[in-house]
Amino acid sequence: MDQIRKELDDIIEIKNPLDNINFIANLKRKIPHAIKLIEQSDFSLNFYPNYNCYMYALNLSNAQEVNRLSKSTLGRVRPGNEFVKYLIHQVALKEIPREKVSKGDIIIYFDNNGPVHAGKIISDRIISKWNLEGHLWEHGEEEVPVKFGSDRKYFKEISRSGALSSFFRYADFESKKIENEFKQEVKFY
């Protein structure tokens, strides 16, 4: 599995998500795998779902309020790695042992700096979004790029309303930090 993970690192560097589909097909000729495309971004129609792996795993993929808030802070407050750290710290995400995992629960991949990638568990498979403009893929736990981290933890599914209310609390906290940073910068002028 290490070989496929190393090969998959290249997919992160591919700038045109349409090339990802060919990459996965060509990789299958080289290394057998069970990665399947679930939802394709369509650049010819200017359709590429504007959500990341965390938004998908946390049931926020169609949350327009989240996208609006993120845009209003120029992307400084968004459901990314820091938000997931916040959820874990606030125990909004409840860690569970692997043997207690069920459909809809969440897998989060970690590196030494914290969370890197997340997906939704469906039986012994995962569905996750690779890159913001990328596609939604079904894959095994080990069928992810090495850059997504080597440690994994499992968490109970969080409801959409629970994820939204946690995000708004997080956004309020982060917005105050941004405001204080701005005030500090203004003092220097």
Residue 177 has pLDDT above 90, yes or no: no
pTM of the model: 0.88
- 46 or 159, greater pLDDT: 159
What does the pLDDT read at residue 42?
64
Write down the mean pLDDT value for the chain: 87
Mean pLDDT within 115-140:
92
Residue 71 has pLDDT above 60, yes or no: yes
Residue 47 has pLDDT above 50, yes or no: no
Residue 157 has pLDDT above 90, yes or no: yes
3-state SS, one letter per residue, for the chain: CHHHHHHHHHHHHCCCCHHHHHHHHHHHHHCCCCCEEEECCEHHHCECCCCCHHHHHCCCCCCHHHHHHHHHCCCCCCCCHHHHHHHHHCCCCCEECHHHCCCCCEEEEEECCEEEEEEEEECCEEEEECCCCCCEEEECCCCCCHHHCCEEEEECCCCHHHHHHHHHHHHHHHHHHHHHHHHHHHHCC
Query: Using one digit for the tens of pLDDT, what is the confidence trace for 12-31?
Result: 888 777 788 999 999 999 99
What does the pLDDT read at residue 176?
79
